[in-house]
A and B are shown apart, each in its own frame.
Chain A
């Protein structure tokens, strides 16, 4: 008798467990879907999102890229190729700059490697094409007319410029400390 009782109690437990799970799914049936319907609704992406790559200019409108090859060296898929050249005033620039976006994995290592903040990734990810050759972007496709994420930064004001003033007068430089003043 006790055995039958425990079997019946197990059965009741099982049935209640099943009914409970059915109730949970039924409750979800009447919830509003949380899907964002993509082409109609486009989510705003953060500035740091890694999408299509651009080449930015410095605040004076000059190309930031100095053709140092660091981005092409660090690129894991070897999708960046550059040929560097030199201007008459000694400033370097890329003669041509080519990114094969069919191979790019949008890892952002080029952006991290760039000493002049020239190469930057943008949040633009809608980047599908019918032909694989259409993915090869030349310098004129990559170069933009703005500063990208860093409006102020100007590499040539910080580096590669001969120091003209006295000690402590260069940009962002603190005046020299008199070593004799901080003796114990």
Chain B
């Protein structure tokens, strides 16, 4: 009896999280185009529906109707499955993110997280690395020089920034004393970690930007040099899946930043779900602002920033945090 109820509850939570993520991802595209337009003193899309609000539907419909083209020399099976990897990985990450305060009905506590893994952060980092496979395989299977170059750049970049991302989270784990995302949020009850660990926060934010393949780190898909990079040969909804993956991962990275540094769903007065969504949306909005501001990095600058700056700073930050904790007898 009790386990069926749990199963039903789990399915309800899964449905809500997935639909909210996809909905937000679709509208994030519109928000990005609108904001980019405003940054460039244009209006952005405003023709489909009031204020262009139906634009995501029109885009989706168009992508579904378009021909699903597979190049003759492509590796068919890998080519067809690679976009699914890119789109699925951020969804799986969302499973361990606590999105609101625990909810009580009739004395039963319902945790507002799909699953509270005790190694949640390791799970997140492992899956974030898995997203590289979508990019690398998609680019390789296309059998086109642009796609291959994009895929190689993508793998090199994502692996480099994975390191500093992981290292920037070590102080968070040291202070919270747990890998579980729920415990990390609980550890920020008094003070969000952005105030305790500002350096970690900045390193994580830069790495997250690089992880989501966005300007100024969009070398894998650089439109100008590589004509779209790893997704040059993709069309129709498979191309769309790459985009869904990119935007879902943007939102998920925003949610992770919220959980690790901004105090999760904690906030005064308003309901916890509102605070979680509000903080989560801040990060993608910052990414869009960055896209309107910065040009793309050169490849050597990208590697320089990753290996010679972020990585040493993250290591020093760990040592300093450890020293301070030792002195204060935490």
Give residues in A with beta carbon < 8 Å to B: 18, 21-22, 24-26, 28-29, 31-35, 37
Contact = CB atoms under 8 A, between A and B. Distances in A.
A33 B42 contact: yes
Contact of A29 (B35, B43, B290, B294): B35
B289 interface: yes
B294 A21 contact: yes
A34 B38 CA distance: 10
Nearest to B202: A15
Contacts of B290: 22
B224 interface: no
Nearest to B40: A28
Contacts of B39: 25, 28-29
Nearest to B295: A21
Interface in B24-64: 35, 37-43
Contacts of B19: none
Interface in B62-112: none
Interface of A, helix, strand, loop or mixed by DSSP = helix
A25 B40 CA distance: 8
B41 A33 contact: yes
A33 B294 contact: no
A173 to B, nearest CB: 58
Contacts of A33: 37-38, 41-43
Nearest to A23: B293
Contacts of A18: 294
B273 interface: no
Interface in B176-204: none
Interface in B263-308: 289-290, 292-294
Interface residues of B, number: 13
B41 A28 contact: yes
B41 A34 contact: yes
A94 B79 CA distance: 62
A25 B41 contact: no
B193 to A, nearest CB: 21
A100 B39 CA distance: 43
A129 to B, nearest CB: 21
A38 to B, nearest CB: 10
Contact of B41 (A22, A24, A31): A31
B289 A22 contact: yes
B293 A25 contact: yes
The 7 closest A-B pairs by CB, nearest first: A25-B293, A25-B292, A33-B43, A21-B293, A34-B41, A33-B41, A35-B42
A32 B40 CA distance: 10
Contact of A35 (B35, B43, B289, B294): B43
A113 B240 CA distance: 52
7 contacts: A22-B289, A25-B289, A25-B293, A29-B39, A32-B41, A33-B41, A37-B43
Contacts of A32: 41
Contact of A26 (B40, B42, B289, B294): B289
A21 B294 CA distance: 8
A37 B46 CA distance: 10
A29 B38 contact: yes
Given A21-B293, A22-B289, A24-B293, 19 more contacts: A21-B294, A22-B290, A22-B293, A25-B289, A25-B292, A26-B289, A28-B38, A28-B39, A28-B40, A28-B41, A29-B38, A31-B41, A32-B41, A33-B38, A33-B41, A33-B43, A34-B41, A35-B42, A35-B43
A18 B286 CA distance: 13
Contacts of A35: 41-43
Contacts of B42: 33-35
Contacts of A25: 39, 289, 292-293
A80 B16 CA distance: 64
A25 B43 CA distance: 15
**Which one of A29, A31, A34 has the highest number of Cβ atoms from chain B below 10 Å of its Cβ?**
A29
Contacts of B35: 29
A26 B35 CA distance: 11
A33 B42 CA distance: 5
Contacts of B43: 33, 35, 37
B38 to A, nearest CB: 5
